[in-house]
Amino acid sequence: MQTQKRAREIFDRLRRRYPRTEPALAHHNAWELLVATVLAAQCTDARVNTVTPELFRRWPGPAELARAPLAEVEAVVRPTGFFHNKAKNLMAAARRVMEVYGGQLPRTMAELVTLPGVARKTANIVLSNAFGVHEGVAVDTHAKRLSFRLGLTASEDVLVIERDLMALYPREDWGEVNHLLVYYGREVCVARKPRCNGCELADICPRNGVTA
């Protein structure tokens, strides 16, 4: 099947399976989503969701976090792993939001990636889900794995994968593409033993890199 046609069919089937999607990270505003997404690096969303209520209770926004004691922030985010770097980056990002952007999270890719700890994936997630702005496709571990297995890309470089996905889908679908791949990657096309026998994409999947 031609790649463009397969990409559309994958989207349509997954959309029927998941008619309503939303980020798994609990948040109430753009700043909370950014913080949660930074904490989710090398950590599960479920664990992050156990940490952020206390984090946001103590330091609700960038103004409070920018002035927080580093050791206290580290203690709260410790369960998410790599807590030294995560705490340092989040506090530095909070200070930059206050000093450069007047306390308001910026709404462009170019500005968001100037925040410490924020790369394209995090920026795409925030832009799409908090602001309805689609500047790219967030490529996390699930999107990366499924894009390769499904033949939507031949690369394992996240920047190349993002460009490939952007070329295959219209801009208005870019945010949804990430959600659908993440959902399916968690339920069916899992990392170690993908459930190919029960996969509703099996007839159009080239199974790239799948040996079992």
Q: Which two tokens stand for residue 164?
A: 């490939």
Burial bucket for residue 126 (CB in 10 Å: 0-12, 13-18, 19+): buried
What number is the average pLDDT over the span 176-198? 95
What number is the average pLDDT over the span 137-161? 97
Task: Please answer whether residues 73 and 66 qualify as being in contact, where contact means their C-beta atoms are separated by less than 8 angstroms.
Answer: no
Q: Which two tokens stand for residue 9?
A: 């069919």
Q: In this predicted model, what pLDDT tens digit does every residue of 56-86 receive, in sequence order?
A: 999 999 999 999 999 999 999 999 999 999 9
Report the alpha-carbon distance of residue 167 to residue 164 in Å, rounded. Answer: 5
- Helix boundaries (H) for 102-173: 109-112, 120-131, 141-149, 158-168
Phi/psi for 65 (5° steps) reads -65, -35
Residues annotated as part of the active site: 121, 140
Report the alpha-carbon distance of residue 165 to residue 117 in Å, rounded. Answer: 24
| pLDDT over threshold 80, residue 30 | yes
| pLDDT over threshold 90, residue 1 | no
| pLDDT over threshold 90, residue 212 | no
Within the chain, strands assigned E span none
Q: Which two tokens stand for residue 163?
A: 């460009």
Q: Which domains does the chain have, with CATH numbers?
A: 3-22+136-204 (1.10.1670.10), 30-131 (1.10.340.30)
| pLDDT over threshold 90, residue 52 | yes
What number is the average pLDDT over the span 9-18? 98
Burial bucket for residue 201 (CB in 10 Å: 0-12, 13-18, 19+): buried
